[in-house]
């Protein structure tokens, strides 16, 4: 049973804006950056295949190919216009990198963004700092990233230690981080980074992955980035290891703790790769969880 009917929607929602939530007078929207095309093995590899088939059976999804949405959260409180991550840009995948069109649909341009808060430095989250001419896109914004995340990708040895499959991630992240080196503000777990926005370290997917809890009045939401990544499996089997995570065990522990927090604090959940705009509620279901869209 969807809870969407109980939520006040704020105004007309253009087609590229997939979901919107009124948060104590502020507006939390997701804007599409397109989608990714991934081999199923990227996520499913470590999972028990016989049980996985049963977990996937309610969905029209193949074990061979996944096409997760990329939804950037946009928070507007009347003073700040905050974008969480910047998307893929033109250089990662042809199916992604369209966030500027989605901002256009809202009547916003890149220069209207006052703050960019990064969850982590994977390509689909940070490569959008550069456009097709290698020019900076959100150049008027203040950038914030977890100190641990920054240090990991900044380290010159990461390209050699991360493994061949992700070496390009390290090169691509460093190139873009060098561009914002003089503007970055480092944040740590528990910091109130902007009024009502608190950083929550959720390491595992990457070494310094950061989520953000936004609280305004009696309403609160968690921007979870990729800490809760694949909706087909993560809700039903949060403890399963996922191939998309860098530290598989730590990511599974983080995911389980996040679900506890979401339930205990009655948070809306915003996930970067969750379906249909990525805003929803979490409900308990058959000993695990269910993502209920709003
Ligand atoms: Zn991602």
From the list 271, 165, 262, 264, the residue with the least C-alpha distance to 209 is: 271
Ligand 1 centroid to residue 96 C-alpha, Å: 11
Q: Please give the helix or strand (H or E) that residue 143 lies within, else none.
A: strand 142-146
Ligand 1 centroid to residue 187 C-alpha, Å: 20
Strand partners, 182: none
Q: What are the tens digits of pLDDT across the range 14-68?
A: 445 567 888 888 999 999 999 999 999 999 999 999 999 999 999 989 899 999 9
Residue 95 neighbours by CB distance under 10 Å: 14
Query: In this predicted structure, what is the pLDDT of residue 262?
Result: 97
Ligand 1 centroid to residue 150 C-alpha, Å: 16
Q: Please give the helix or strand (H or E) that residue 2 lies within, else none.
A: none
The Cα angle at residue 184 between residues 181 and 190, in degrees rounded to 5: 145
Calpha distance 78→157 (Å, rounded): 42
Integer CA distances (angstroms), 204 to 4, 29, 144, in order: 31, 26, 19
The model carries a pTM of 0.93
Query: In this predicted structure, what is the pLDDT of residue 11?
Result: 38
Q: What are the tens digits of pLDDT across the range 77-116?
A: 999 999 999 999 999 999 999 999 999 999 999 999 999 9
> To the nearest 10°, the Cα dihedral for 79, 80, 81, 86?
170
Ligand 1 centroid to residue 38 C-alpha, Å: 11
Are residues 231 and 241 in contact, defined by beta-carbon separation less than 8 angstroms?
A: no
Ligand 1 centroid to residue 201 C-alpha, Å: 16
Ligand 1 centroid to residue 125 C-alpha, Å: 6
Ligand 1 centroid to residue 83 C-alpha, Å: 15
Ligand 1 centroid to residue 59 C-alpha, Å: 21
Query: In this predicted structure, what is the pLDDT of residue 5?
Result: 34
Ligand 1 centroid to residue 122 C-alpha, Å: 7
Mean pLDDT computed over every residue of the chain: 92
């Amino acid at each position: 049973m969807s809870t969407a009917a109980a939520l006040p929607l704020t105004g007309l929602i253009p087609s590229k804006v997939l979901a919107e939530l009124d948060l104590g007078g502020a507006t939390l929207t997701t804007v599409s950056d397109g989608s990714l095309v991934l081999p199923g093995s990227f996520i499913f590899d470590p999972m028990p295949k016989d049980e996985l088939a049963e977990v996937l059976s309610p969905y029209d999804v193949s074990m061979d190919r996944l096409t997760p949405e990329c939804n950037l959260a946009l928070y507007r409180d009347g003073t700040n216009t905050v974008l969480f991550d910047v998307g893929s840009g033109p250089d990662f995948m042809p199916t992604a990198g369209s966030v500027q069109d989605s901002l256009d649909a809202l009547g916003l341009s890149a220069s209207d963004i006052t703050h960019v808060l990064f969850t982590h430095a994977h390509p689909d989250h940070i490569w959008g700092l550069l456009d097709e001419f290698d020019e900076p896109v959100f150049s008027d914004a203040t950038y914030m990233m977890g100190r641990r995340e920054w240090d990991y990708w900044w380290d010159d040895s990461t390209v050699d230690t991360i493994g061949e499959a992700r070496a390009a991630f390290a090169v691509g992240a460093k190139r873009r981080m060098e561009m914002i080196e003089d503007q970055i503000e480092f944040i740590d777990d528990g910091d109130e980074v902007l009024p009502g926005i608190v950083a929550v370290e959720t390491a595992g997917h990457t070494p310094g992955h950061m989520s953000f809890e936004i609280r305004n009045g009696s309403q609160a939401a968690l921007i979870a980035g990729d800490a809760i990544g694949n909706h087909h499996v993560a809700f039903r089997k949060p403890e399963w290891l996922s191939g998309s995570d860098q530290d598989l065990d730590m990511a599974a522990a983080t995911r389980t703790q996040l679900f506890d927090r979401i339930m205990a604090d009655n948070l809306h959940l915003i996930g970067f790769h969750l379906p249909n705009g990525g805003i929803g509620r979490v409900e308990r279901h058959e000993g695990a969880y269910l993502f209920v869209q709003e």
